[in-house]
A and B are shown apart, each in its own frame.
Chain A
Amino acid sequence: MSSPARKLPPRTPARKPAPERGKPGGGGGAGANRRAQRGDGAKRPLRSRPRPATPPRRRKKHHVGFAVTSSVLVGLMVLGIVVLNVLLAQQSFHLEESERRIDALGRERLVLVREQATLSAPGRIAGWASRHGMRLPDDIRILRAPNGPPDPAGTDTSRASGIGG
């Protein structure tokens, strides 16, 4: 036989139903109930085996540490990139400066080579010597050291003597 239906006492204390979204004072509907049930379920282990709750200050400290670390890391990365960029730019400036210097030195070398070639030209030297009263010798004299090699011609060439005759 079936007994007449009766109202079962609620297992959990009656809670004020959450107001329906968008409707002030409205019921939460099935969704709201499910969220409410999940919320109850989640709290159940805490109740059955209570643990000391994490103090809110410490959790906040952890978040701050994370934020600081992240910021430092990001900052370091940005700094690193900037420094790398600066170094690269600096190197390229150095490279450019060096290339410019090489070009300048190359030009300077060519100018010096030209000057050296001009100054050592026999015509210039002869002109300079002539202006200073120098001239080529009239005769050729070969002086021999007393212990030097013998004169291949067998003549005393120190007096520029003739051999033909």
Chain B
Amino acid sequence: MKRPPIGRLLALLVAMSLALGAIFFRLAILQVSQASELRARATDQRLQTIVLPAQRGEIQDRSGGRLALSVPAVDVYADPRNVEDAWTTAIRLSPLIGETAGSLASKLTTDATFVYLARQVEVEAAEQIDELGLPGIGFLEATKRFYPSGSVASQVVGFVGVDGDGLAGLEFEYQDLLAGTPGERMQELDPTGKPIVGGVHVERTPVAGATVVTTIDRELQFQAQAALEEAVENQRARRGTVIVMDPRTGDILAMASYPWFDPNAFGEALPSTYRNRAVTDMFEPGSTNKVITAAAAVQEGVLALDQRLPVAWTMKVGEFTIHDSHPHGVQRMMLGDIIAESSNIGAVHVANRVGASDMATYLARFGLGAETGVGFPGEASGITVPFYRWDEVILATTAYGQGIAATPLQMASVFATIANHGRWVQPRLLRATIDADGVRHDTPPSPTRRVVSEETARTVGGMLAFAVEHGTGANARIDGYQVAGKTGTSRIPLKDAAGYEVGQYIASFIGYLPAGDPQVVVAAILDRPAQGYGGLAAAPLFERIARAAIAQLRIEPASPLPPPPHALPIR
């Protein structure tokens, strides 16, 4: 009997063992070390995840009037591979999309599988496009931000980009609140791309964004803007800014800068019109700053109210000569006269008695040189001179509001402090939020701090009322109401050099009413008006807006404040 070939059998056994071992080794790699990765890849092939966008929250005014909302829209796209005749398609789409046929044709002939033809198209227009039955044209559901009031409060509200992200204003500031949380739908698809019945189907519902309720009063905002536009046009001013504020709560009822823009077509507007200059831009406040000088003097008791100061029309301070707005002989003025006549020289005398240290302290206490924290992107902090650099010139110019810079909102807050019985209240734009479940969350009251005593505030208020009734602010008077306020006519610093523009001014009037029970503060500022003075150009604007506020807010007259001691004859 022939013996089997042991060697060959062994060789075969070894070969088979090696082959099996290799298979097991590969299997181990696939099943163990690469298992999770391969499982994920397999899942990716079968599962499709669709992001479900969340409805963006609304922006409302204080009464629930809508300032911004999202409405259904459609994105129109093309798959150029499936487009039969690019030019015919482009010509037929052009009037419906509002883009030139040439531009559309170039998109339709690109070497791509997906190209947007138009985004955020109105639903009606998309339906008309759909009815054309053009091959290679598809539609995606989308939303579009809509601002029903157009340019009303546009610089406050801001706008969003085509991707739905806030780019300016409150849309940007409260992006996280407004955007909500997108949802997700995960489903298992068959090789043809159809959902498998009974397969994986996980859906996470999107959570809509919260509604932001602002402190803005839409009607008052509209009237303030109408008055501002007319004033800028009449005065041939470069621009203007208005603020209407509740001094008790810090609520900003209206805020605008002209020229403004329509957020529904922000791409067509100049980017400079996007700026909310009431918050982001600074100006030298001029004589409106004398209210701080007066408050510091009264609070510190450095000057009796009936004390007369000799006020010439010019004064040498260091190497500079400062002067009043109009030539006059040496007058013996009381503090009330200095405020009513808006005397720069008188203010310097008062500031010299207060001293640099206390003046710097009161500027800071009134909030100059620091952001108000109103809750708006890009807020400027203003410019005040560091105390270690103060000298007699800085003290003198600060007394009448030159050499420092403040935002219109900071200056409105200064007057709101006097109106609010000496207590500074942080201004605010956010009144409440309403979450996706409809639950309203009111914003807590704004932080406050005591700046001057109630008595000081009342005394200074009397001076401001006197300034309107018998001083430079006569054009701000409103029959039946006692108005307290101060004019400002400030020089404009050169941009790239030391010194000021010649013959150009910023005219302002900031005040409140009724003086005895203040309920609204109005700041009116015009940049380079034809009638340069605050009392001539800005006070009438204040008066018109204050009238609108009285009607809109149902403000009743209050007991008038007594006039301060005064020496000059009443006008």
Contact = CB atoms under 8 A, between A and B. Distances in A.
Interface of A: 107, 110-111, 113-114, 116-118, 120-123, 126, 136-137, 139-140, 142, 151-155, 157, 160-165
Given A113-B66, A114-B148, A121-B150, A157 B477 contact: no
22 contacts: A110-B70, A113-B71, A114-B148, A117-B66, A117-B149, A121-B152, A122-B149, A122-B219, A126-B222, A126-B226, A140-B480, A140-B547, A140-B551, A151-B557, A153-B556, A153-B557, A153-B558, A154-B559, A162-B479, A163-B480, A163-B482, A165-B469
Contacts of B66: 113, 116-117, 120
The prevalent SS among residues of B at the interface is mixed
A164 B149 contact: no
Given A126-B226, A152-B517, 5 more contacts: A136-B547, A152-B558, A153-B514, A164-B468, A164-B469
User: Would you list the 4 A-B pairs with minimal beta carbon distance, nearest first?
Assistant: A117-B148, A164-B469, A122-B222, A153-B557
A121 B148 CA distance: 6
Contacts of B516: 152-153
Given A122-B218, A152-B557, A142 B150 contact: no
Contacts of A121: 148-150, 152
A123 B72 contact: no
B146 interface: yes
B480 A161 contact: yes
Contacts of B137: none
A155 B150 CA distance: 41
Contacts of B65: 117, 120
Interface residues of B, number: 42
Interface of B: 65-66, 69-72, 123, 146, 148-152, 218-219, 221-223, 226, 465, 468-470, 477-483, 514, 516-517, 547-548, 550-551, 556-560
A154 B560 CA distance: 9
A37 B426 CA distance: 116
A121 B151 CA distance: 11
Contacts of A123: 149-152, 222
A140 B479 contact: yes
Contact of B557 (A110, A122, A142): A142
Contact of B480 (A116, A126, A157): A157
Given A163-B481, A163-B482, A152 B551 contact: no
Contacts of A160: 479-480
A129 to B, nearest CB: 12
Contacts of A120: 65-66, 148
